[in-house]
Chain A
Amino acid sequence: MKILVLLDGSKWSQKAAMHAITIAKRKKAQVMFFSVLDIREAKAMAFNFCAQSDLCDRIKNYEEQIWRDMKKSINDEIADILYYYNRENVDCLSKVVEGNLHEEIVREVKDGGYTLIVMGAYGKNAKIRMGSLFCDISRDVTAPILIVH
């Protein structure tokens, strides 16, 4: 059994990783922690911050800094989770890719032959209604999707 856990740095994806460990241990499954970094997110954060703060001359610097921080943050988070999973003797791997969120996830699901996809119910923008990502993914994949609240 192979489980794909989607991580985006939100508290919900952290909960998803914790939930997946129960299934992984019981089924002796291999777990892949997968995260997609989208440069458009760094651009949006940099633009919104600079536009509101009248700092538009520094927008490129901010964007680069945010992009670096995004990479570091997700890698640190994955390292924490891998440490925890390894301690629980769960076979696990991780992958961080850059690109379009929906496209990269669907590609990974199709290429990876996963039995189950585990994701948080919400994203980094707090607890608003469950997002379009869930609808997009469930449209394109056949594996069951476990949504963790």
Chain B
Amino acid sequence: MGYYTSLIQRKFKDVVGKRYESVLREYGEFLLSEEEMVVPEIHSILLPLDIFVKEIPPSLYEVLSAYEGARVSLVYITDAQVYSVISEVLSAGAGEEFMRKKEEYGHVLLNQVSGELAAAGIESTQRMFTGHKGEDIEKLASSHDLVALAKSYGSEKTEHYPISPLAIRIAQRLKKPTILF
């Protein structure tokens, strides 16, 4: 007898036939259906990076390596709004300098994480662009099976705020399995 069958028999042993169907319909929010019981296959993993992500803990690589054959998409995003504000308030040159420094760090981080993933036997691809750190990750997540999100993604961690508000917001909005590290 499978886990699902034993669960249903234990909880609904007195509710049979049509009554059970009606319970499942009306209380679906609380009840696991047999369709929902399927463990999702993980083939693609989204790993967002930005200036605030300084390093990836080895335990994350260990966990990701459990998804055999899965490919990791490394995405480094520079905030378009910050670039725009710097360019408008200071100068176009200051904006370009901001972008150059961010991208310089981005390349270093992407190569570092890509190398560490390869050492753990995980294939990866790299991408860097300017955009919205929250909305773009939500869009990209829709074409991936799992998201691995740093607690510091979007802002520095502090003693009072050990998780970035943006990371919390993204984790709350995603409908995919998410690893917060």
- Over the window 55-66 of chain B, the binary record of Cβ atoms lying under 8 Å from chain A Cβ atoms (1 yes, 0 no) is 001011011011
How far is A135 from B39 in the complex, measured between Cα atoms in Å?
A: 25
Interface range, A side: 35 or more
Q: Is the CB of A148 within 8 A of B162?
A: no
How far is A144 from B162 in the complex, measured between Cα atoms in Å?
A: 14
Q: Would A23 and B6 be within 8 Å (CB), given that A115-B59, A144-B181 are in contact?
A: no
Q: Is the CB of B177 within 8 A of A18?
A: no
Chain A nearest CB: distance from B145 CB in Å? Answer: 11
Count of CB-CB pairs between chains A and B under 8 Å: 93
Within 8 A of B (CB), among A35-78: 76-77
Chain A nearest CB: distance from B159 CB in Å? Answer: 10
Q: Is the CB of B3 within 8 A of A84?
A: yes
Q: Is the CB of A146 within 8 A of B179?
A: yes
Q: Would A116 and B39 be within 8 Å (CB), given that A11-B31, A147-B177, A149-B177 are in contact?
A: no
Q: Would A26 and B6 be within 8 Å (CB), given that A130-B171, A146-B179 are in contact?
A: no
Tell me the nearest residue of chain A to B10, going by C-beta.
A76
Q: Is the CB of B32 within 8 A of A145?
A: no
Residue B93, interface by CB 8 Å: no
Closest 8 CB pairs of A and B: A11-B32, A126-B29, A84-B3, A144-B181, A23-B66, A26-B66, A130-B172, A147-B178
Known: A116-B59, A129-B172. 11 other contacts (CB 8 A): A19-B39, A26-B68, A27-B65, A80-B6, A84-B6, A127-B29, A138-B151, A140-B162, A146-B63, A147-B179, A149-B174
